[in-house]
Amino acid sequence: MTFLTSDRELSRNSYYAATAPRLQRHAPLSGAIRCDVAIVGGGLAGLSAALELRERGFDVAVLEARELGSGASGRNGGQAIHGLACGQDVIEAQLGLEDSRRVWDMTIEALDMLRARISRHVIDCDWRDGFLGVATSERKGRALAEWADEIESKYRYPLTRIAPAEIASWVSSGRYHSGIHDPRSGHLHPLKYVRGLARAAAAAGVRLHEDTRVTAFRQDDRGVTLSTSAGEVRAAQALLAGNVYLQDVAPALESRIMPVGTYIVCSEPVAPALADALIPTRSAVCDTDFVLDYYRTTNDHRMLFGGRVSYSTKTPANLQESMRRRMVDALPQLASAKIEFAWGGFVDITMNRAPDFGRIGNNVYYLQGFSGHGLALTGLAGRVVAEAMAGDSGRFDLFARLKHHAFPGGRLLRTPALVLGMAWYRLKDLL
């Protein structure tokens, strides 16, 4: 499967890559090694699991096909937000209210974990508190307020309501009707964060191997053997945390997620007073449209703006200019600001946007399907899979109970089918 290879070139013009120097490199695997746990994928989920497992005394090796953090973990929008990509109603329908509350509480634990890891490992990653969810119409404003009421009453999580008369003082845009604010969520520089986790993992004794693509694995009663182009790993247990980049290693998982292209631009620095005026709290901002816009100011007073998606795995034409227009539509004050960076790549989504955690056999675990909402949740996922590998699978199995369906149409037809479906949701956003 080669449809994901084009994102490497697109990701090179990233603000994150330009502002997070790579201070460590890790040799590819050569020859045969043994360990307690082998992890496929050196992004946030894999590195988080590695740290948690080392704290429990496991000998861990991480195998990354490219550079650590080169996938969605190191180039996403940088927003760490409460909840899941799906609504809690999706979780309630499958697990019931009590267990849905447990899942919600774990997403809040994920935010606290993120802050704790930044502090514990002294990771300089530009963290800022605050998230603004904003509605683009009166109808969507009512829906957002109703959702906030439900989250407070059923999940005991307080949110600040922002009325139409007040929204302009939170975000200086004429586009939004109303919103909510969550001071516990926030945003950061994701590549600095993932590289900080990698340094912490290396310091803890995790064996990290870059440029090491896993081509196959086999299981037996004694453990798992993972094959690479230049070596082999024999482990008691394994974790597959490569998401859409597993590329045929686990075909049974592939049909349960879809690669979706996401794109971001970053402006030149603007006057600090203008950056403060655009979002006075310097919170992250995201609207509630199905095809949504999300943005935030950086510590060096740039606007980092995401909003386009591609469900066809093809990069949109005139990406930089079309993204600049979306940014200016939301924030006309930036009409004269030049775009200095434009990049993108793929994230994995599931049919219902709920995360997909589970096992293949008894000794191979997997984490996937974060659906664009994984910056904080990947940390929690690493913790619960480490708990399961250490013998306490209660929290992991709670997620594993979530049922997932394959995307219709198989490999050849599922992408065209999804493109047609997303066209309908884009139309609904306009209504």
Which pTM was predicted?
Answer: 0.93
Nearest one of 430, 391, 378 to 43, comparing CA atoms: 378
Q: How many of the other CB atoms lie within 10 Å of CB of 103?
A: 23
Burial of 59 (0-12, 13-18, 19+ CB in 10 A): middle
Tens-level pLDDT at each residue, the chain (431 residues) = 333 445 555 567 899 999 998 989 999 999 999 999 999 999 999 999 999 999 999 999 999 999 999 999 999 999 999 999 999 999 999 999 999 999 999 999 999 999 999 999 999 999 999 999 999 999 999 999 999 999 999 999 999 999 999 999 999 999 999 999 999 999 999 999 999 999 999 999 999 999 999 999 999 989 999 999 899 999 999 999 998 888 789 988 988 998 888 999 999 999 999 999 999 999 999 999 988 999 999 999 999 999 877 766 667 778 899 999 999 999 999 999 999 999 998 889 999 999 999 999 999 999 999 999 999 999 999 999 999 999 999 999 999 999 998 887 655 545 544 544 444 344 445 45
Residue-by-residue DSSP string for 266-307: EEPP--HHHHHHHSTT--EEEE-SSS--EEEE-TTS-EEEEE
The 10s digit of each residue's pLDDT in 141-183 is 999 999 999 999 999 999 999 999 999 999 999 999 999 999 9
The 10s digit of each residue's pLDDT in 94-132 is 999 999 999 999 999 999 999 999 999 999 999 999 999
Residue 360, beta-bridge partner list: 364
For the chain, domains (ranges, CATH) are 7-420 (3.50.50.60)
Burial of 276 (0-12, 13-18, 19+ CB in 10 A): middle
What's the pLDDT score for residue 420? 43
Helices first, then strands: H and E counts in the chain: 13, 17
